[in-house]
Amino acid sequence: MNIQEQFAQFVLSTYARTPLVITRGKGSRVWDAEGRCYLDFVQGIATNTIGHCHPRWVQAVSAQAATLVHTCNLYYTANQGMLAQRLVEKAGPGKIFFCNSGAEANEGLIKLARLHGQKLAGGSEGQRHKVVCAQNAFHGRTFGGMSATPQEKVQHGFRPMLDGFAFGEFNKLSSFEKLVDDSTAAVLIEPIQGESGITPATAEFMQGLRKLCTERGVLLLADEIQCGYGRTGRFFACEGYGVKPDAIAMAKGIAGGFPMGAFWVAEPYADLFQPGSHGTTFGGTPLACAAALAVLDVMEEERLVENAAKMGSVLSDGLKDLVAKYPDKLDGVRGIGLHLALVSSKYNLKLIDALRANGLIAVPGGNGAVRLLPALNVSEDEVHQALDIIGKTLSSAKLA
């Protein structure tokens, strides 16, 4: 039985998988079972922040694995305290909760919204619990995440959703102004919508949401699971908008490919959580935190937030040239920093297959996106190689 047959027989078929078996990775490259090499501009969907198997990361994870892996959160471990402190130094005064995935981080934000709403309602449970999210958002596959994700392909088959979610039009402040009322506890927003194809919020929208939330006493919750962690050329995407949210969900990039999620809660709200009000067995293990600390060390030493901004503009300039050259095949470029999509509303899926045949892997996204999400330590050479492959593919491939 080959690997694909084994999956067909034994793994739940919840994914439309690409016919590619990846066997190893190094930096911005991966190899398949036949030994073919690919430039990896997927990186586990914006997850391998410092590329595959960075020596510092491998060293830190190996050493920690040989020392202490898991204790559960009944005890103190040094790595979790250290990582929390370093994240608070980036996000601002407040506190961190560690979990294991993005969906779990968003569950935490939704629970924070409930606690906040209850406090606003003088302790009465359930009166003020509405969370206003955006159309085309993606917040994960748990019931909280799905309920915040108004997409048929996510919710179909699983209704009823959780009560108390409403959806405004992304980048249309007036639509949020109508929905934020006396029953609202929070607004939950991706500063750049990722799964739906890398659509950045406008500055007016993000700043307007901040003002609206402050005026009406509701929390502004940022889902930075995909767009955060240095990818936009700022540590948090919200920084680029000059906006300070009340809480931030992180996951994908935080531990460089090791499963981890986290959320930061700003100081005045951090104490809404009390002993017993939230928990997880695995969150913030010494091993996961060692991986995350290695990511932060490498990001700082190799100045990767800056590199994301620089390489992002090289990549995006190159893509814009290709859009000008192939107007019949391409519609544009969206995104900020290294959170980018080449847009081809007619051919994005075919283009991704053709790119793979030529040695570059990319991720599809909504609204015609070919998402390009390289590691933040991608080199200028590698960006040019990717652009060459995209150019060559567009000049030769019959996409229609």
Ligand X SMILES: *Cc1c(COP(=O)(O)O)cnc(C)c1O
CA distance 333 to 42: 17
Of residues 104 and 382, the one with the C-beta less far from ligand X: 104
Catalytic residue among 138, 167, 235, 263: 138
In the complex, the smallest distance separating the C-beta of residue 172 from ligand X, rounded to whole angstroms, is 19
Question: Taking CB positions, which residue lies at the least distance from ligand X?
Answer: 102
Of residues 40 and 223, the one with the C-beta less far from ligand X: 223
Query: Considering just the CA atoms, what is the radius of gyration of the chain in Å?
Result: 21
Sheet arrangement for strand 184-189? 94-99, 261-266, 247-250, 219-223, 184-189, 130-134, 165-168
Task: For Cα atoms 223, 379, 363, give the angle at the middle one, nearest 5 degrees.
Answer: 45
List the one residue out of 27, 50, 387 whose CA is nearest residue 230: 50
Of residues 79 and 226, the one with the C-beta less far from ligand X: 226
Of residues 139 and 234, the one with the C-beta less far from ligand X: 139
Strand pairing report for 29-32 and 219-223: unpaired
- Distances in whole angstroms, Cα of residue 294 to Cα of each of 42, 101, 236, 339: 21, 18, 18, 22
In the complex, the smallest distance separating the C-beta of residue 68 from ligand X, rounded to whole angstroms, is 25
398 an active-site residue?
no
Q: Which residue has the tokens 């192939």?
A: 326
223 an active-site residue?
yes
In the complex, the smallest distance separating the C-beta of residue 94 from ligand X, rounded to whole angstroms, is 20
The identity of residue 21, as a single letter, is V
> Hey, how many other C-beta atoms are within 10 angstroms of the C-beta on 92?
13
Please tell me the total number of residues recorded for the chain in this structure.
400
In the complex, the smallest distance separating the C-beta of residue 195 from ligand X, rounded to whole angstroms, is 6
Of residues 127 and 142, the one with the C-beta less far from ligand X: 142
189 near 134, Cβ under 8 Å? Answer: yes
CA distance 307 to 299: 9
The identity of residue 62, as a single letter, is S
Catalytic residue among 41, 98, 252, 258: 252
In the complex, the smallest distance separating the C-beta of residue 108 from ligand X, rounded to whole angstroms, is 12
Of residues 291 and 389, the one with the C-beta less far from ligand X: 291
263 an active-site residue?
no
Q: Contact residues for ligand X (CB under 6 A)?
A: 101-103, 106, 138-140, 190, 194-195, 223, 225-226, 251-252
CA distance 182 to 114: 14
- DSSP state, residue 344: -
In the complex, the smallest distance separating the C-beta of residue 189 from ligand X, rounded to whole angstroms, is 10
Task: Return the active site residues.
Answer: 138, 223, 252
